[in-house]
Structure 1
Amino acid sequence: MAADAPTAAPKQKGFLGWVEKTGNKLPDPVFIFFYLIGALIVISLICWALGVSATHPTLVGEDGNPVVISAVALLSGDNIRRLWVEMPETFTHFHPLGYVLVVMLGAGVAERSGLFASAMRAAVRNAPKFLLTPVVALVAMIGNHAADAGYVVLIPLAGVLFAAAGRHPLAGIAAAFAGVSGGFSANIAPGQLDALLFGITEAAVEGSSLDPNWIANIAGNTYFIQGMTILFLPIIWFVTDVMIEPRLGKYQGGGDAAKTLGDEDKPLTADQKKGLGRAGLAVLGVIVLWLIFTFAPTTPLIDETACPAAVAAAGDCNPISNWNPFFSSLVAAFFILFLAAGWAYGAAAGTIRNHRDLVEMMADAMKDLGYYLVLAFAAAHFVAMFNWSNLGLISAVHGANAIQSTGLPLPILLVLIVLFTGLINLFVGSASAKWALLAPVLVPMLMLLGISPEGATAAYRVGDSATNIITPLMVYFPLILIFCQRWQKDFGLGSLTAMMLPYSVWLMIGGIALTFFWVWVGWPLGPGADMTYTLPTVTP
Structure 2
Amino acid sequence: MQPHASEAASPGPPVPPPRRRLADRALDAVERIGNALPDPLTLFLLLAALVVVASALAARAGVVVTHPSTGAAIGAVDLTSPDGLRRMLTEAVKNFTAFPPLGTVLVTVIGVGVAERSGLFDAALRQLVTVVPPWALTATLLFAGVNSSAAADAGIVVLPPLGAMLFAGLGRHPLAGLTAAFAGVCGGFGANVLITSLDPLLAGLTESAAQLVDPHYRVEATASYYFMNASTFLLTAVGTFVNARWVEPRFGAFTPPPAPDTASPPAPPAPSTDPPALARLAPRERRGLLVAGAVLLAYLAILAALVIPAHGFLRDPQGGFKPFFDSIVLLITLAFFLPGLAHGVTTGTIRSDRDVASMIAATLGTMGGYVALAFVAAQFVAYFSWSNLGLILAVKGAGALSRLGLTDIPLLVGFVLLSAILNLFLASASAKWAVMAAVFVPMLMLLGYSPETAQAAYRVGDAFTNAVTPLMPYFPLILAYAQRYDPRCRLGTILSATVPYSIAFGIAWTAMMVVWIVLDLPWGPGAPIHYTPARPPPALLAPGP
TM range (shorter): 0.5 to 0.7
The structure having more radius of gyration, on CA atoms, is 2
Q: Is the 8 A contact 1:51 1:71 kept in 2?
A: yes
Q: Partner residue of 2:134?
A: 132
Q: Is 1:70 aligned to residue 75 of structure 2?
A: yes
Q: Does 1:158 align with 2:149?
A: no
- Residue 99 of structure 1 pairs with residue 104 of structure 2: yes
Structure 1 position 463 matched with structure 2 position 465: yes
Where does structure 2 lack aligned partners over 5 or more consecutive residues? 1-19, 146-155, 206-222, 251-268, 442-451, 471-477, 488-493, 526-545
TM-score (norm 1): 0.62
Q: Is the 8 A contact 1:397 1:445 kept in 2?
A: yes
Conserved? CA contact 1:466–1:505, under 8 Å: no
Q: Please tell me whether residue 363 in structure 1 is matched to residue 361 in structure 2.
A: yes
For residue 291 of structure 2, what is the amino acid of its counterpart? Answer: R
Name the SS for the 1:57 alignment partner. Answer: coil
- Show the counterpart of 1:37: 48
1:34/1:474 Cα in 2 relative to 1: closer, same or farther (>3 Å)? closer
Asked if 1 retains the 8 angstrom alpha-carbon contact of 2:114 and 2:337, the reply is: yes
Match of 1:47 in 2: 58
The corresponding residue for 2:295 is 282
Alignment of 1:299-378 (within 5 A): 299-304=312-317, 322-378=320-376
Paired residue type of 2:58:
C
Which of 411, 415, 425 pairs up with 1:409?
Answer: 411
* Distance in 1 separating the partners of 2:304 and 2:336: 17
Instruction: Write out aligned runs for 1:80-479 (5 A).
Output: 80-127=85-132, 131-135=133-137, 137-139=139-141, 142=144, 146-147=158-159, 149-150=161-162, 152-159=164-171, 176=177, 179-185=180-186, 230-235=233-238, 257=270, 265-294=278-307, 299-304=312-317, 322-406=320-404, 407=406, 409-415=411-417, 417-418=419-420, 442=432, 444-448=434-438, 449-450=440-441, 459-465=461-467
Alpha-carbon contact 1:134-1:233 (below 8 Å) kept: no
**1:73 Cα deviation after fit:** 0.8
Contact residue 53 and residue 394 of structure 1 kept, 8 A = yes
Distance 1:420 1:523 in 2: 24
Contact 1:123–1:139 under 8 Å retained in 2: no
Contact 1:141 1:187 in 2 (8 A): no
Aligned match for 1:23, one of 22, 34, 50:
34
Once the two structures are superposed, residues 428-470 of structure 1 have per-residue CA deviations (whole angstroms, 9 ceiling, x without a partner) of xxxxxx765x8798555544445999986774543345899xx
Q: Comparing 175-184 with 108-117, which one deviates more in the overlay?
A: 175-184
Q: Residue by residue, what CA displacement relative to the aligned partner does 1:242-284 show, whole Å, maximum 9, x if unpaired? A: 999999xxxxxxxx94787899814122222222222222222
Higher mean C-alpha displacement, 330-339 vs 135-144: 135-144
Contact 1:188 1:229 in 2 (8 A): no
Gap change, CA 1:227 and 1:276, over 3 Å in 2:
farther
Q: Percent identity?
A: 30
- Greater Cα offset, 341-350 or 238-247: 238-247
Retained in 2: the 8 A contact 1:44–1:391? yes
State the distance in 2 between where 1:467 and 1:39 align.
Answer: 17
1:529: which partner in 2? Answer: none
CA distance in 2, matches of 1:183, 1:231: 11
Write the distance in 2 (CA, Å) between the matches of 1:125 and 1:93: 43
- Provide the C-alpha distance between the structure 1 equivalents of 2:76 and 2:497, rounded to a whole number of angstroms: 48
Gaps of 5+ in 1: 1-9, 60-65, 160-169, 206-219, 248-255, 308-319, 425-433, 483-495, 526-540
Contact 2:120–2:289 under 8 Å retained in 1? yes
1:77-105, CA deviations, whole angstroms, 9 ceiling, x for partnerless residues?
22222221122112111222222222222
Q: CA RMSD in A?
A: 5.2
Partners in 1 of 2:497 and 2:92 — Cα distance?
46
| Inter-partner Cα distance in structure 2 for 1:16 and 1:49 | 40
Greater alpha carbon shift after TM alignment, 41-50 vs 455-464: 455-464
TM-score by length of 2: 0.62
- Residue 366 of structure 1 aligns with an amino acid whose one-letter code is L
SS at match of 1:27: coil
Deviations 1:392-416 (A, max 9, x none): 2122222222222233534543356
Give yes or no for contact 2:142–2:239 (8 Å, CA) kept in 1: no
Q: 1:481-513: per-residue Cα shift (whole Å, max 9, x none)?
A: 89xxxxxxxxxxxxx999999878756644554
Taking a change above 3 Å as real, the CA distance of residues 34 and 233 of structure 1, as seen in their structure-2 partners, is closer
Counterparts of 1:380 and 1:522, CA distance in 2: 40
Q: Secondary structure at the match of 1:121?
A: helix
Alpha-carbon distance change, 295 to 175 in structure 1, aligned in 2, over 3 angstroms: closer
Q: SS where residue 170 of structure 2 aligns?
A: helix
Whole-angstrom distance in 1 between the partners of 2:307 and 2:34: 47
SS in 1 for 2:327: helix
Contact 1:121 1:264 in 2 (8 A): no
Is the CA contact (8 Å cut-off) linking 1:442 and 1:456 kept in structure 2?
no
Q: CA separation in 1, counterparts of 2:63 and 2:99?
A: 28
